[in-house]
Amino acid sequence: MFAVASGDAAGATLLKTGLFVRDPERSLADQLGEAFEPLQMTDRLACSLSSQGALLRWLEFPFDEPRKIAAAALPEMACQIPENLENRSVFHQILSTGKVLTAAVLKEKIEGLLAQFDDNREPLGYLGLSPFCYIGGLDWPVDSLLLCVEQDEISLSRVEGGAVTDLRILPRTAEMKDLEVIQQALMLSRSGDSPLLRLRLLGTNTDSPLAISLEQAGFEIDPVLLSGKEGRISEEMTTVASLALAATKAGPGELNLRSGPYKLKNDWQALKRRAWLASGLLLLSLLIASGSGYLQYRQRATELDQIQQQMKSIYLKQFPGEKLRVAAPLQLQSKLKELQKKAAQFGTDSPGALQILLAVSKNADSELSLDIREYVQSDEGLRLSGSTTSFDAVSRLLAGLQKEPLFNDVRILDSKQAIDGSRVDFQLQIQLKQIKGE
């Protein structure tokens, strides 16, 4: 099944849905071109990944700053799950003030799926986690349950305020009975502060045996209805259609597994558009300057003012919320230099803040009693200040951190015993290794 949608965060429209049999001997781009039309440079594919095997937690923090949440989500997740995170990648989505959905997904599952796509011919820009990736493509006027029927699994979600607050995943096997789904649906409907008996269907018909059994169990069945340019979408196609809509409207804050270490490397469209715009405006400015000698002073001044206002308007439209401190061409030159610097740095692999934080946590002996009061990181390294029980504990912390391959140099700036003798205060400085990508 496939679905095609266009639009942006403000709204999306379904253009086409259809079916085709995947031929492993041919490229996906060629088959999609035959089923719909050839992929364009700005087109992006979307795909979903099953939540089976993923570790999900709804975390709460006493702050709502995105940077603080990004820094704290990984350590907090590491404390709450029953295994080491080395084989998993952690993603998060801010749901409301201080409340965050966090998912730890096996790296091999993500990498295995991404290996099926060619980043140049079949750029996968959105990799959602089922069933979360369908929610953004649907309207949620009231709180309800969502039953999502897919090829290998059936998921039951409790959706409140337009976000999933609880989830059940059932593997779809030949031995599965409708009674299992009904029991899980009844438990999920009563898992919150108020019971939810309204149940929306995604990917199945209202006259299916399962839907009829759920209605007999007391649920109010509400099928998901979607329409596109071709008319009403069949109920079997609503799953892939809602994925296409959600991917089209998805912003940077959505739960997208195609981010972080798996971000699409050749996604240069936004950079190219701004570079072309800046180049065009500069060329326009040069043409006006060279032709102004043939005009009278008043005419030149009038036209120049119009062009400057036009450039200012275009600049402010392209960079909303940014003030013009100098003339638009000069500020665009500065923007060009920034874009060139970003392009020159494309492909670097310097360790990130979360990676450094995890490295510090892993190499600090879990038996040590540490109280970190200051954690300051820069491009060159970081500084730790805190206290522990003894000088020996400081030495053990230093020895552990010196073993980390990401750290070029770890040394003690200061260590001294508190006046009351109850602890030892210390300061550590860590210099990071700078690794250039190939």
User: Would you say residue 108 has pLDDT above 70?
Assistant: yes
pLDDT value, residue 179: 92
Count of alpha carbons within 13 angstroms of residue 50, beta-carbon side: 16
**Tokens linked to 268:** 């240069």
For position 270, what pLDDT does the model report? 47
- Which range of 37-41, 43-47, 326-330, 346-350 scores highest in mean pLDDT? It is 43-47
Q: What is the C-alpha separation between 394 and 418, in angstroms, rounded?
A: 14
Q: What is the pLDDT of residue 166?
A: 92
Global pTM value: 0.60
CB neighbours (10 Å) of residue 147? 25
Q: Is the pLDDT of residue 77 over 50?
A: yes
Extents of the domains making up the chain: 1-138+236-265, 139-223, 269-345, 353-432
The predicted-structure confidence for 253-283, as pLDDT tens digits, reads as follows: 889 999 888 988 765 454 455 555 556 666 7
Q: Return the residue matching tokens 């050839």.
A: 38
User: Is 337 a residue whose pLDDT tops 50?
Assistant: yes
Q: What is the pLDDT of residue 316?
A: 74
Contact predicate 382/408, CB 8 Å: no
Mean pLDDT of 98-123: 90
Element at 323 (helix H, strand E): none
Looking at residue 103, its pLDDT comes to 92
Span 282-300, pLDDT tens digits: 677 776 766 665 666 777 7
Hey, do 1-138+236-265 and 139-223 end up sharing a CATH topology, with the first three levels equal?
A: yes
The tens digit of pLDDT for each residue in 399-408 reads 999 888 888 8
- Checking if the pLDDT of 379 tops 50, the result is yes
Per-residue H/E/C for 117-183? CCCCCCCEEEEEECCHHHHCCCCCCCCEEEEEECCCEEEEEEEECCEEEEEEEEECCCCCCHHHHHH
The predicted structure's pLDDT at residue 345: 44
Say whether pLDDT at 397 is over 50: yes
What's the confidence (pLDDT) of residue 347? 43
> Right CATH number for 1-138+236-265 from 2.40.30.60, 3.90.1150.10, 3.30.420.380, 3.40.50.1360?
3.30.420.380
Say which residue, 312 or 398, is predicted with more confidence: 398
Provide the percentage of residues in the chain whose pLDDT is more than 70: 89
Write out pLDDT tens, residues 13-50. 998 888 878 888 888 888 888 877 888 877 889 999 99
Mean per-residue pLDDT, 175-180: 87
Domain 139-223: CATH superfamily is ATPase, nucleotide binding domain (3.30.420.40)
pLDDT at 294: 60
pLDDT tens-digit readout, 199-248 = 999 988 899 999 999 999 999 999 999 998 888 988 889 999 999 999 99
Domain 353-432 classified CATH 1.10.10.10? no
- Beta strands 198-202 and 220-223 are parallel
**pLDDT tens per residue across span 126-160:** 999 999 999 988 988 899 999 999 888 899 999 99
